[in-house]
Amino acid sequence: MRTAQPTTTTWECTGKPPQWKAHPPVDNYGDTCVICGQPRPGLKATKRPRPAASPYPRGWQLLAATLLLGSVLGFAGWIVWQNWRSGNWQTSTTVDDPTAQVTTRTLDASQLPADSPDRFSSGERRLLRYQSNRDGDRAAVAFAAGDYAQAKQLFENAIQGDRRDPEVQLYRNNAIARLSKEPAYKLAVVVPVDAAASSAEEILRGIADAQAGFNEANGSNGRLLEIIIANDGNDPKISPGVARKIGQDPTILGVIGHNASAATEAAVPEYEKAGIPVMTATSGGTTIASRVFFRAVLSNQITGTLLAEHAKNTLKLERIAIFFNPNDVYSRSVQEAFVDRFEALGGRFVKAIDMSSPDFQIDKQVKQLAGKFDAIAMFPNTDLVTVGLSIASANNQLPGNQKMQVMGGTTLYTPRTLSSGGNAVEGLILSIPWFAQTPYAYEASVRWGGQVSWRTAMGYDATLAFLNTLSGTPTRSNILQNLRAVRLPADRTSGDSLQFSPSGERLGQPILVQVVKGGGGPVGSGLVFKALN
């Protein structure tokens, strides 16, 4: 019997200095942010009221404070001595003692060389360093020492401490695979740990779901799946070096990644040199092409085309202003797909506006469009999502008869749109690759404690595609051939059938959603995404 549908919803936090630490956007499921501790919107941080302070302590207060301090210091000294004598505390941690106190190093991952070991892990180190988990840190020490039984137990303890953390679940499964008599199949996944932590976690959750299902069913011929996580920071200057390092490891049979289209496009030539298949779960850029490249997510050509058809054929729009970043692969390609289809259907006028320009003035630009255009289409890359929401806000401040219909692409399909957009995004229409109304969406929400995203679903499907090519003694070459023959029905995926065109593109149709008033969205927003088709 299924458990009740969880009511926990995601909310996004970036911190609010100086009270809270600023950090990259991260989606949260609990009542406090996993990075800075800020409470969920609508909740108040509890603080004890302070009594009015006296400028000088009274005599009895001073005596009591002195006695208390002496007692505390004495007890603390006794604890230190006992632990030092028993060897529980050490001046440094070694891999020989996985139960020792672990101090996680603080590294600026963006400064690491592309081939640095600190960018890669099967369990030897934790890459999601902002996720505080003492058992996870200890498990990594045991894993690095080759004590996989101890690592397995400690990673299981870490999962009990935070069941929403996909990294420790992947490493637990890796430890089990290392304990197996048969060598594990190995896949690498490249995610932007330090640049887009929330997106990285979302992708890893889907991969962890697929890995767990495969390994718990005893894999294929007794061989289980091991996942190597790599961090490229969504940086197209770093991603080729990360790809080169992966390609040089002959035990890695395939790659899931990268996240951003620009990073994926930069990395693909390295995979082609190595002859290793790579499948992106999130990059929609249409300029990415290679004999080794596959796409688990629908391309921008498909999502942009559907949105244009809805704008012209259903909404009867004629004049549209498009905001995009001409320097970004994703933003540029979805804009081109939209314009091509809209004009082919008879759309009379399209104005393209560079939202990344340093001279871009949101309020001024939107006011210039008022009364001249029927709609605004926004295709920001991930770094410009906030700018997109500001454009929607400026549009919402126009007089009622001048407000334009607002629409956009996949990057706006995030809890941030609902929690930060407010009334300005009500009515916003998006073309997206997946919507959370499938059996997998339900099962994943139970496991992870809240609704999962399209990135999780696509990560799941990408892993399933690879798993269906593994049998006997697979090679990179025969996996490439087998991927083209993958045919998975909807009931064996995240919700849609899975197969690829000869060029590696996923076949299927996107979904239109609209922001409407309703419950079930981020706390305090009063908004949800509702499917239109």
Using one digit for the tens of pLDDT, what is the confidence trace for 94-144? 223 322 333 333 345 668 899 999 999 999 999 987 777 899 999 999 999
Give residue 400's pLDDT: 86
Query: Residue 220: which of 2, 464, 510 has the closest Cα?
Result: 464
Q: Is the pLDDT of residue 184 over 80?
A: yes
pLDDT given at position 456 = 97
Q: What is the pLDDT of residues 123-134, one digit of tens each?
A: 999 998 777 789
What's the predicted TM-score (pTM) here?
0.79
> What type of residue is 12?
E
Q: Are 517 and 499 in contact (CB under 8 A)?
A: no
pLDDT of residue 196: 84
pLDDT(299) > 60:
yes
pLDDT for 58 = 45
Q: Write the CB contacts of 390 (distance below 8 Å, at least 6 apart in sequence).
A: 362
Q: What is the predicted pLDDT for the residue at 11?
A: 59
DSSP state of 238: T
Residue 231 phi, psi (nearest 5):
-115, 115
* Residues 303, 431: Cα–Cα separation, whole Å: 6
Mean pLDDT of the chain: 85
Dist CA 376 CA 350 (whole Å): 10
Q: Could you tell me if 276 and 290 are in contact, meaning their C-beta atoms sit under 8 angstroms apart? A: no
Query: Is the separation of the CB atoms in 278 and 253 below 8 Å?
Result: no
The CATH architecture to which 300-432+512-531 belongs is 3-Layer(aba) Sandwich (3.40)
Q: How far apart are CA 387 and CA 79, in angstroms?
A: 54
Q: Where are the strands (E) in 288-331, listed by range?
A: 293-295, 319-324
Per DSSP, which regions of 164-203 are E strands?
Answer: 185-191
Answer whether residue 462 shows pLDDT above 50: yes
For 222, counting Cβ atoms within 10 Å of its Cβ (0-12 exposed, 13-18 middle, 19+ buried), the class is: exposed
Confidence of residue 50 (pLDDT cuts 50, 70, 90): very low
- pLDDT band, residue 322 (cuts 50/70/90): very high
Show the tokens assigned to 90: 């050490």
Mean pLDDT within 353-367: 95
Copy the structure tokens of residue 326: 């001409």
The pLDDT assigned to 345 comes to: 96
Work out the average pLDDT over 35-43. Answer: 67
Give the per-residue pLDDT at 523.
82
Q: How far apart are CA 168 and CA 174, in angstroms?
A: 10
Query: Strand (E) positions, 299-363?
Result: 319-324, 349-354
- Which residue in the block uniquely carries the two structure tokens 């069941």? 163
Give me the residue spans of the domains in the chain. 8-41, 109-296+439-500, 300-432+512-531
Provide the token pair at 193. Answer: 């740990």
Could you report the per-residue pLDDT of 475-506, keeping only the tens digit for each? Answer: 999 999 999 999 999 999 999 999 999 999 99
Give the three-state DSSP class for 405.
Answer: strand
With beta carbons less than 8 A apart as the criterion, state whether 378 and 311 touch. no
Q: Are 495 and 318 in contact (CB under 8 A)?
A: no
| Tally of CB atoms within 10 A around 422 | 17
CATH T-level topology, domain 109-296+439-500: Rossmann fold (3.40.50)
Q: What does the pLDDT read at residue 308?
A: 97
pLDDT of residue 46: 43
Tokens 């956007």 found at? 25
pLDDT digit string (tens) for 148-160? 999 999 999 999 9
Q: Strand, helix or coil at 430? A: strand
For 346-360, what is the mean pLDDT? 93
Report the percent of the chain where pLDDT is more than 90: 70
* pLDDT confidence bin for 388, thresholds 50/70/90: very high
Fold matches, 109-296+439-500 and 300-432+512-531: yes
Number of H helices, E strands in the chain: 15, 15
**Calpha distance 37→126 (Å, rounded):** 20
The percentage of residues in the chain with a pLDDT greater than 70, rounded to a whole number, is 80
Average pLDDT over residues 432-457: 93
Upper half-sphere CA count for residue 432 (Cβ side, 13 Å): 26
**pLDDT at position 78 over 60:** no
Count the alpha carbons within 13 Å of 81 in the hemisphere toward its beta carbon. Answer: 6
